[in-house]
Structure 1
Amino acid sequence: MDELKKKLIQLVHSRHASWKAIYSILKANAAISNNEAAKYSSINPHAERPIRDLQFISIDKLLNDYTSQNIHLITIFDDDYPSRLKTIYQPPWILFAKGDLSLLKNRKSLAVVGSRNATTYGMGAINFLFPSLIEKNILIVSGLARGIDAHAHKAAIKMGGKTIGVIAGGFHNLYPKENVKLAEYMMEKQLLISEYPPATMPAKWQFPMRNRIISGLSEGTLVIEARKKSGSLITADFALNEGRDVFAIPGSILTPDSDGVHYLIQQGAKLVKSSEDILEELGM
């Protein structure tokens, strides 16, 4: 492993390193030592503390710990970093991954997101659409949240398909607790990824940031049962900003549970009545 990648891994483990601070440091590049902190802090005042943190972060210990736990680190400089993800706004510097890494290859993939309070209708829509999608080897990407996300992962697995879960926080602090068994299964048989080191506790701000990875890994995003102000609409916004397809399943006009979905349709998202509506846009 070259020195630049080692430095990047150390920086990602600094509690004080924002995405932009890491960018400034990498841009300045060269060998960073504690004595050079002043030089880099003049480029970005937020870069000084992460650079000082480097002396306390043992790269060899980190790499040994992760190897023993079967946790893979894929940096943005690696060949197996998903090419689709490189094009998004502030792509993750590192993906922490556990499971079947082959799922990150550039294959047909669909993000599926929706309400944490999924109804029988929402889950039924997944059961109705997925068989044709799985048959065409469409990989399902979601956020392992309760409700639509969890059902999407489970349905893909049950139907013999492939699925990737993107989590906020790290592998050692899985959330929500009710999906821990599903997450552990996916770390064995499917794939779980995070941009945060395994010891990271999930924080509120990480969930919307996580959504840019869900849409970024996927050619299109399918929204099922989402209110106007919801994480699902944030995911859809990321997809639209990256020029990806957005699909929406209409719901009842009598409840607010599909207000966000109907808003997306009004804004030009493709209304989905059958799996063919999705397959057609994905060039299948």
Structure 2
Amino acid sequence: MDGVKKKLIQLVHSRNASWKAIYSALKASSALTDSETAKYSSSTPRAQQHIRDHQSVPIDKLLNDYASKNIHMITFFDDNYPIELKTIYQPPWILFARGDISLLRNTKSLAVVGSRNASSYGLEAIEYLFPSLIGQNIQIVSGLAKGIDAHAHKTAIKLGGKTIGVIAGGFNNLYPKENIKLAEYMMEKHLVLSEYPPATMPAKWQFPMRNRIISGLSRGTLVIEAKKKSGSLITADFALNEGRDVFAVPGSILTPDSDGVHYLIQQGAKLVKSSDDILEELGM
């Protein structure tokens, strides 16, 4: 293992190691190229003070422990780091991965997000749209949350497709509890990702942050049922900021769970009536 990768692993496992703090440490050690330095230069002079303990991280013990649990670490500098993700603002320094990491090579991924309190209409919309999408080998990326996320994963699996789940917190603290079995199955047959070390407890601020990974891995983001202030709209915003397509399934004007998707449509998201609306936009 080269020195840069070892340093990065230590930094990510350090206390208070924010994205900007890690950036500062890598910049100081000349690990970043000039173009990467120019793109991500937004750190504070005091950032390195928060991660002085990184050299005390027992890296060999960590690597052995992760290997025994089939946990892969894919760093920003590795050849198999997804190119689509590398181009977003503040890409994860390390992807912790459990499952089939070959799925990261599939460039035909669609993010699917929506309400945790999904209605029967939202669930049926997934079942109506997915057969044609999966038939075109489109891979489904979502957040393993309850509601739309979980149903998207399950429907992709049921139809023989592939799916990636992106979680907040680490693998040792899966949330929500009702989706633990689904997550464990995906860790065996599909793929689950996190940018946080396995022992990390999920925190509120991590959920909107993980949404940038969901959209960043995908060519487009499909929103099915979402309130105007919701994580789903945060995901759509990330997608728009990165120049990715945003799709929205219209809902009833009588329910707040459709306010978000209707807002997206008003802002220019493509209204989806059938899977062809998605496939055409993605050039398929």
Query: TM (normalized to structure 1)?
Result: 0.94
Is residue 240–residue 246 contact of structure 2 (8 Å, CA) maintained in 1? yes
Q: Deviations over 1:50-103 (max 9, x none)?
A: 1x2123211101111100110000000000000000010100000000000010
Cα deviation for residue 278 of structure 1 reads 0.1
Give the whole-Å Cα distance in 2 for the aligned partners of 1:54 and 1:215: 30
For the pair 1:177 / 2:215, whether they are aligned, the reply is: no
For the pair 1:278 / 2:278, whether they are aligned, the reply is: yes
- For 1:141-180, list aligned pairs within 5 A: 141-180=141-180
Question: What's 1:39 paired with?
Answer: none
Give the whole-Å Cα distance in 2 for the aligned partners of 1:85 and 1:270: 23
For the pair 1:45 / 2:46, whether they are aligned, the reply is: yes
Question: What's 2:236 paired with?
Answer: 236
Find runs of 4+ consecutive structure 1 residues off by over 6 angstroms: none
Say which SS state the counterpart of residue 233 (structure 1) adopts. helix
Give the whole-Å Cα distance in 1 for the aligned partners of 2:98 and 2:121: 32
Q: Deviations over 1:153-190 (max 9, x none)?
A: 00000000000000000000000000000000000000
Cα deviation for residue 106 of structure 1 reads 3.8
Cα deviation for residue 30 of structure 1 reads 5.9
Is residue 114–residue 224 contact of structure 2 (8 Å, CA) maintained in 1? yes
Is residue 114–residue 147 contact of structure 2 (8 Å, CA) maintained in 1? yes
Aligned residues: CA RMSD: 1.2
Give the whole-Å Cα distance in 2 for the aligned partners of 1:72 and 1:154: 24
Is residue 15–residue 50 contact of structure 2 (8 Å, CA) maintained in 1? no
Flag structure 2 segments of 5+ consecutive residues without an equivalent. Answer: 32-42
- For 1:59-208, list aligned pairs within 5 A: 59-208=59-208
Is residue 83–residue 106 contact of structure 1 (8 Å, CA) maintained in 2? no
Distance change (3 Å), C-alpha of 1:46 and 1:271? same
Say which SS state the counterpart of residue 74 (structure 1) adopts. strand
Which amino acid counterpart does residue 281 of structure 1 have in structure 2? E
Aligned identity (percent) is 82
Question: What's 2:248 paired with?
Answer: 248
Give the whole-Å Cα distance in 2 for the aligned partners of 1:23 and 1:66: 24
Is residue 113–residue 149 contact of structure 1 (8 Å, CA) maintained in 2? yes
Is residue 250–residue 258 contact of structure 1 (8 Å, CA) maintained in 2? yes
Query: TM (normalized to structure 2)?
Result: 0.94
Flag structure 1 segments of 5+ consecutive residues without an equivalent. Answer: 32-41
Is residue 84–residue 106 contact of structure 1 (8 Å, CA) maintained in 2? no
Question: What's 1:38 paired with?
Answer: none
Cα deviation for residue 28 of structure 1 reads 1.1
Aligned residue pairs: how many?
273
Is residue 99–residue 186 contact of structure 1 (8 Å, CA) maintained in 2? yes
Question: What's 2:261 paired with?
Answer: 261
Distance change (3 Å), C-alpha of 1:237 and 1:43? closer
Cα deviation for residue 15 of structure 1 reads 1.6
